[in-house]
Amino acid sequence: MNWINEAVMYNIYPLGFAGAPRENDFKLEYRLDKIYDWIDNFKKLGVNTIVFNPVFESTRHGYDTIDYYKIDSRLGDNDSFKEICNTLHKNGIRVILDGVFNHVGRDFFAFKDVQQNREGSKYCSWFTNLNFGGNNHYNDGFCYEGWAGHIDLVKLNLDNTQVEDHLIGAAKFWIEEFGIDGLRLDAADCINLEFFKKLRNTCLAMKHDFWLYGEIIGGDYNRWANENALHSVTNYECYKGIYSSHNDHNYFEIAHSLNRQFGDGGIYGNIYTFNFVDNHDVNRVASMLKEKAHLNNVYTILYTMPGVPCVYYGSEWALEGMRTKFSDYELRPCLDINNIPNPNYKLYNHICKLGAVRKALPALKYGNYRNINIKNEQLVYLREFEGQKVFVALNLSASDYNIDINTGTSGVLTDALTGERFDTDGYVYVHLEPCSSRILVLNDGSFELSFENGEEDIIPVENNINEIEDTENLEPIPVELGKYRHFKGNEYEVIGVAKDSETLEELVVYRALYGDNELWVRKKSDFEAVIERDGKQLRRFEKIQ
């Protein structure tokens, strides 16, 4: 299954992405054909697998299936979707569909038959806890079990062989006719394991590298991901740990989860987990983070931790969105590739680079995991595979930090993101700027990675409208004793103003309030200077106390 190790995934909620009406009007519209305009974006990101949330005909949101063998008419038809799959495959992009096999909508043919024929329907045994002695708020004259209490989502009886045959037949259909490469199993924790075993055997018999992963919110992942069931599951533990460790300034949280799952003796060393930081069911990560400056580090962890990374559509530009009490639609917007709202191109550039770095480094795709140095606001971990060592170093602080790394051997650490190099004799201090990360390859210094267009920025940063603000002209302020913050975030204490013995030029003497509290000197005129960064005037040092 090596293609999974090599994968970078992209998750699309088609009905929202394509701007489909919320209620199915059953008018045929080829809205999903807009996917063709996004292929260049997928390539820039290094994406080679698309995960489509429900595409089957449904009444409203896709998870209330009407027909497992037909594309939702709001998106297109089977022929148009077949062409989409063919085009993606020609561009080296695999296709995974969302298998909503736990429940159906009330417009599903078998349920409609029960409504019409009641006890005489041959489909009564298809549904769970069907009871003609009760009623429901639709006044059907019977009651039944809905998924998680949602009566619009009628729970299927997966112990019924006819139901099994219908669903597994659908999987066979999409493999045979469309060449799909995998399935996401919705609400996998509600589905019996025997069904997964039969589904796995059928799919692998048709396509030896077919991949099955389940939506699992909690519990022991080994129950669902093993040689007799699914290949993988959604890693909700690390999803939560990634954003909350930044919000709480506590890297111990995510370091503990990663070590527990994938470290020496880790409980999920046999599972290549499906990793994500947001999706169609949870708030966008850009809305969840207290400090947007942490976005780069969030995605560095996503791309360098064990398992396959997946980006939710639009989040590569830091789109925001929050669930409400009554709706998830804010999480599922219609997007135009040529008109992304308020795009953060710095993040986009970073994610593009991460895709290229991941592709270039086997240790990130196949390697084991080990924590090297854990602090509240800094973290270093090692990915190692067949002699290749890659150290991932992160700093979530608003200040510069020099992190110590025990590399275990001499050599050169090359930052795959910047090309910067650090000599090590087995132990080295590496400088980390505020809210930044490094992916450090240890070898003889020969490692070099060129990005696609040969430039540091894949998209010009000056186009980032989030970074440009109108500001008044600032005037220099004479330096005084006290504490200052450098424009990059690091804090210092001015302890005096000295004079050069030869030139009598005034020099500011100041002490770092981090690391080893080193002493620094700088020309007084430079210390007091007003500089410009990203179209904004800043004082090089701002007095804070």
What are the angstrom distances between the C-alpha of 238 and each of 129, 294, 300, 351, 378?
35, 16, 13, 19, 17
Structure tokens at 253: 């949280």
Number of Cβ atoms within 10 Å of the Cβ of 469: 10
Q: Do 403 and 366 form a contact (C-beta atoms < 8 A)?
A: no
Can you read off the two tokens belonging to residue 262?
């994938």
CA–CA distance, 452 with 445 (Å, rounded to integer): 21
Segment holding 15, helix H or strand E: helix 14-17
- For residue 469, the model assigns a pLDDT of 35
pLDDT recorded at residue 516? 65
290: closest CA among 244, 235, 336?
A: 244
Cα distance between residue 137 and residue 186, in whole Å: 26
User: CB 529: neighbour CB atoms within 10 A?
Assistant: 14
pLDDT score, position 402: 97
Of 304, 433, 294, 428, residue with least CA distance to 373: 428
pLDDT at 191: 97
366 CB-near residues (< 8 Å, 6+ apart): 5, 385, 386
Q: Quick check: 60 and 328 in contact, CB under 8 A?
A: no
| Phi, psi for residue 410 in degrees, rounded to 5 | -80, 160
CA separation for the pair 386, 362 (Å, rounded): 9
Write down the pLDDT at residue 467: 35
At residue 44, what are phi and psi to the nearest 5 degrees? -60, -40
One-letter identity of residue 349? N
| Closest by Cα among 249, 192, 180, 181 to 224 | 192
> For each of the chain's 545 residues, which pLDDT tens digit applies?
589 999 999 999 999 999 999 999 999 999 999 999 999 999 999 999 999 999 999 999 999 999 999 999 999 999 999 999 999 999 999 999 999 999 999 999 999 999 999 999 999 999 999 999 999 999 999 999 999 999 999 999 999 999 999 999 999 999 999 999 999 999 999 999 999 999 999 999 999 999 999 999 999 999 999 999 999 999 999 999 999 999 999 999 999 999 999 999 999 999 999 999 999 999 999 999 999 999 999 999 999 999 999 999 999 999 999 998 888 999 999 999 999 999 999 999 999 999 999 999 999 999 999 999 999 999 999 999 999 999 999 999 999 999 999 999 999 999 999 999 999 999 999 999 999 999 999 998 888 887 654 434 444 443 333 333 334 567 788 999 999 888 766 788 999 999 888 888 899 999 888 666 778 899 998 899 888 765 677 888 888 87
Tell me if 399 sits within 8 A of 490, measured CB to CB: yes
- Site of tokens 């199915």: 24
CA dist., res. 458 & res. 456, Å (int): 7
Distance of alpha carbon 311 from alpha carbon 148, whole angstroms: 27
Query: d(Cα 118, Cα 132) in Å, to the nearest integer?
Result: 8
Q: Could you tell me the two tokens for 300?
A: 């560095």
Q: Against a cut of 0.75, is the pTM above it?
A: yes
Q: Strands, E, within 298-400: which ranges?
A: 308-312, 368-374, 378-385, 388-395
Q: Residue 466: what pLDDT?
A: 37
Cα(2)–Cα(402) distance, rounded to whole angstroms? 37
Inter-residue contact 161 to 147 (CB < 8 Å): no
Contacts of 35 (CB under 8 A, 6+ apart): 12, 84, 88
Helix (H) or strand (E) holding 485: strand 482-486
Q: Which residues contact 516 (CB under 8 A, 6 or more apart)?
A: 402
* CA gyration radius, the chain: 27
Give the pLDDT confidence score for residue 503 in this predicted structure.
86
Q: Could you write out the DSSP letters of every residue in 16-57?
A: HHTT--SS-------GGGGGGGGHHHHHHHT--EEEE---EE
